[in-house]
A and B are shown apart, each in its own frame.
Chain A
Amino acid sequence: MNTKNFNRITLTALLLVAVLFPFFADFYILCIGISVLIAALLGQSWNIMSGYAGQFSFGHAVFFGIGAYTSTTLYTMFGVSPWLGMIIGALVAALVGAAIGFLSFRYKLRDDYFALATLAFAEIFRILVNNTSALGGATGILIPYLVKPSEYQFASDKTYYWVILALVAFATVFIAVMSKSKTGLNLVAIKSNQEAAAALGVNVLKYKLIAISSSAFFAALAGTFYAQYYGFIDPSIVFASSISVEAIVPCIIGGSGTLYGPLLGALLIIPLQEICNSLFTSISGINMIIYGVLIVLFIMFCPDGIYGRMTKYISKRKGN
């Protein structure tokens, strides 16, 4: 059996396990499964612009929040189905992403400074929405729960699970196709050295904007899902810096710039968070300390992420 066939069989088996998972999980475990997939989708989204194209974002909450707020306001104010709202939200986020990118790159913000700019934009949006009474202000928006699949509302958490699984699969296929294309090569080239990329005819600004827009698109899909699943959003939840962190951590832990890294990372980090939360209840905050220490240790000893480590190990064993 050659490696390609082996990979295909492993992948099919894992996908099958993921699809059938709700039949074997109780309610609590299923909720964790959904959290894992939300983190995985955010991680994949971050992976495009930061992992592949090397443009660090500390403010992915801005896109997540735009997704959540666009579909939710369209639904509660105008009765637009959140399915359509999800797509509109994703497109709006992509546009906002392009605008943020254009402003930042136009003024030659790079590396840490660009990352800080994204953080600032997320804060600006949080404060704006917080003070806009038409959008519910700080009170947020409660989505009426009507249990209509045509309006992105389901009776069973199993269905929610399959929806988010499909979105994660969509993002992963998108990245798989992109990474092998001209766009993918150009993004990785820009990450390595944008001057050298430009010398080879790569329009650096254009490709950075493609990266940030498609990244924003997927983060917004996660935002709409979040809103529909929990039924309530407010600015301090969906524009929170904790959302931005949730986009970064799975990618860093799993391996940024790799196809499966963020999936692995989410699968590890969310259950770890749950375990920390449930084991250490006696002293408040101790769970966060332990979680933090574990992440620091991880980054110290496995800076390429699990998937990066694995592929390096395999290529070493092949002796190349």
Chain B
Amino acid sequence: MPLLSVQNVCKYFHGNKAVDDVSLEINKGEIVGLIGANGAGKTTLFNCLTGYYKATSGKIVYKDKRIESLKPHIICRMGIGRTFQIAKPFGDLSVLENVAVGAYNKCKTKAEAYDKARQCIIFTGLAGKEDTNAGTLNTGEQRRLELARALATDPELLLLDEVMAGLTPTESQEMVELIRNVKDQGVTILMIEHIMPVIMALSDTVYVLESGRLICKGSPEEVSQNTQVIESYLGKSQEA
């Protein structure tokens, strides 16, 4: 029984098939990678899974429940957390308050929520930044804050939308470690990523999207050797 099962999901924008008949399954404890060129429909699929878009057709089943027409905050409450491709810190709040907003998802009291928030801040390596205004963080710190906030909601399934974007090689390396630690805590992860070494290092299974359609599924090694994938995603540079 998969944790999340996506069945024949389509999302059309005025006839433009952004996501076209996509089916995929995520099992508990896995890290699943989702790759594809710009405009392949990765973020659109994320938005369907988290309630920001309503899928044109198809079923999304999470823990035996249909979720395709639920609102984002309900989906979050059911245990699906997400981060955004463009970090969205709450600039008028401190780092601690930012994370506390997420922690209130499951925590009843203020003390409990702030406690949980502090733990997540330490876990993501932001210790010492609690009282800093979130708007003044650098890119790397903003990425960690996104992750800390999402973790504070206590998700079972975490959707990461390009958490490596804009990070330096050192920061990426640290982020890879951090994601491993998240997995070790028992959180299942679906991640969109552009950087192949990151996908190779982290994923158990990889799905490849092209123009809204899934063209390949397999282990990172299988996918990276699939000629269709190399042509569509990595480009045809090998022929040149």
Interface residues of A (CB under 8 A from B): 181-182, 185-186, 188-189, 191-193, 195-204, 257, 320
Between A and B, 30 residue pairs with Cβ closer than 8 Å are A181-B110, A182-B104, A182-B110, A185-B97, A186-B104, A188-B92, A189-B93, A189-B98, A192-B89, A192-B92, A192-B93, A195-B84, A195-B88, A196-B84, A196-B88, A196-B90, A197-B101, A198-B51, A198-B72, A198-B76, A199-B82, A200-B76, A200-B101, A200-B105, A200-B150, A200-B152, A201-B77, A202-B101, A203-B71, A257-B92
Looking across the interface, which residue of chain A has its beta carbon closest to that of B131? A320
For B81, what are the chain A residues with a Cβ–Cβ distance below 8 Å?
Answer: 199-200
Is B91 engaged at the interface, CB distance under 8 Å to the other chain?
A: yes
For B83, what are the chain A residues with a Cβ–Cβ distance below 8 Å?
Answer: 199
Given A200-B76, A201-B77, A188 and B90 touching (CB < 8 A)? yes
For A201, what are the chain B residues with a Cβ–Cβ distance below 8 Å?
Answer: 73, 76-77, 102, 104-106, 153
Contact of A199 among B72, B91, B98, B106 (CB under 8 A): B72
Is B149 engaged at the interface, CB distance under 8 Å to the other chain?
A: yes
How many angstroms between the C-alpha atoms of A257 and B84 in the bound complex? 26
Chain B 183-205 near chain A by CB (<8 Å), digits 1 or 0: 00000000000000000000000
How many angstroms between the C-alpha atoms of A191 and B98 in the bound complex? 13
Is B52 engaged at the interface, CB distance under 8 Å to the other chain?
A: yes
For window 51-66 of B, CB contacts with A under 8 Å fall at: 51-52
Contact of A200 among B51, B52, B92, B102 (CB under 8 A): B102
B88:A200 contact, CB within 8 angstroms: no
How many angstroms between the C-alpha atoms of A320 and B76 in the bound complex? 34
B150:A199 contact, CB within 8 angstroms: yes
Looking across the interface, which residue of chain B has its beta carbon closest to that of A315? B133
The smallest C-beta distance from B239 to any residue of chain A, in angstroms, reads 41
For B100, what are the chain A residues with a Cβ–Cβ distance below 8 Å?
Answer: 185
Given A199-B50, A202-B101, A182 and B73 touching (CB < 8 A)? no
Chain B 130-150 near chain A by CB (<8 Å), digits 1 or 0: 001000000000000000011
For B132, what are the chain A residues with a Cβ–Cβ distance below 8 Å?
Answer: 320
The smallest C-beta distance from A255 to any residue of chain B, in angstroms, reads 12
B50:A185 contact, CB within 8 angstroms: no
How many angstroms between the C-alpha atoms of A199 and B90 in the bound complex? 13
For A198, what are the chain B residues with a Cβ–Cβ distance below 8 Å?
Answer: 51-52, 71-73, 76
A189:B73 contact, CB within 8 angstroms: no
For A181, what are the chain B residues with a Cβ–Cβ distance below 8 Å?
Answer: 110
A193:B73 contact, CB within 8 angstroms: no
How many angstroms between the C-alpha atoms of A310 and B120 in the bound complex? 32
A204:B73 contact, CB within 8 angstroms: yes
Is B19 engaged at the interface, CB distance under 8 Å to the other chain?
A: no
How many angstroms between the C-alpha atoms of A68 and B152 in the bound complex? 45
For B102, what are the chain A residues with a Cβ–Cβ distance below 8 Å?
Answer: 200-201
Looking across the interface, which residue of chain A has its beta carbon closest to that of B108? A182
Looking across the interface, which residue of chain A has its beta carbon closest to that of B84? A196
For B72, what are the chain A residues with a Cβ–Cβ distance below 8 Å?
Answer: 195, 198-199
How many angstroms between the C-alpha atoms of A185 and B98 in the bound complex? 8
